[in-house]
Amino acid sequence: MDVPTDTPKPLRADAARNSEKIVRAARQVYAERGPDAQLDEIARRAGVGIATLFRRFPDKGVLLRAVLDQRFAEEVIPAVDRAQQDTDPLRGLAVVMEAALSSAAGDYNVLAAARNAGVLMGEVGDRFFEALAPLVERGQRAGVIRGDLVPEDMRRIMGMLVSVLWTMDPGESGWRRYVTLMLDGLSPAAASPLAHPAPALRRPEH
């Protein structure tokens, strides 16, 4: 008799459900407890044992990346889809930038915990900028985004905008002021020439 080598489907389904419950619980607990929320409390909130949590997420960094990934899929990817359909490329870019900052502000404590754990700019960030690049290029072809903008500029611009969140109450929406200022700077109208080419982007060492 052949011995099945794959994990039975019910077990895979249970694992997926547990992962989903843990990620949802993590968002809730971080929102309530702050960036130092404990994993055992997240496990209790999810209704699973701590051993189950560690099977799904071997360390806090893996869990934080999963939470950020979920938020990205739910809030930023739909904004990218809307932006691609917008006839105004600059307005479409604004939609995506605002969605990203709104998402970051909504999960402020998760973002702070990810920054503390050194996992803030990982695969989620890479996917975001991969989605952003075609929108910028479309705006440049249309003449509504300055032509000397390069991908490294957008990474730094978004980094500056995210850093604004650390300077205000998480419940405020004052970050929108700075998105508007940045968008004005991306317009070619009355733009000053950039003094230097963008230096190579250095990733933080872990």
Q: Spell out the per-residue pLDDT of the chain, length 206, in tens.
A: 444 555 455 557 777 888 999 999 999 999 999 999 999 999 999 999 999 999 999 999 899 989 988 888 898 999 999 999 999 999 999 999 999 999 888 888 998 898 888 776 566 678 888 889 999 999 999 999 999 999 899 999 998 998 888 888 877 788 899 999 999 999 888 677 776 676 676 665 55
Residue-wise pLDDT tens digits, 19-43: 999 999 999 999 999 999 999 999 9
Cα–Cα distance between 107 and 175 in angstroms, integer? 14
Q: Is 151 helix (H, G, I), strand (E, B) or coil?
A: helix
For domain 8-58, give the CATH number.
1.10.10
CATH 1.10.357.10 is the classification of domain 60-186: yes
Read off the tokens for 85: 């359909």
**Other Cβ atoms closer than 10 A to 12:** 11
Cα–Cα distance between 60 and 63 in angstroms, integer? 5
The number of C-alpha atoms within 13 Å of 189 and in the hemisphere containing its C-beta is: 5
Cα–Cα distance between 42 and 30 in angstroms, integer? 9
* Nearest by Cα to 20 from 65, 50, 56, 62: 56
Q: Is 121 helix (H, G, I), strand (E, B) or coil?
A: coil
Cα–Cα distance between 56 and 47 in angstroms, integer? 14
Residue-wise pLDDT tens digits, 121-148: 566 678 888 889 999 999 999 999 999 9
Cα–Cα distance between 183 and 188 in angstroms, integer? 10
The whole-model pTM stands at: 0.78
Q: Is the dihedral of CA 168, 203, 139, 191 positive or negative?
A: positive
Residues of the chain with CATH 1.10.10: 8-58
Which residues have a Cβ under 8 Å from the Cβ of 50 and sit 6 or more positions away? 39, 40, 43
Residues of the chain with CATH 1.10.357.10: 60-186
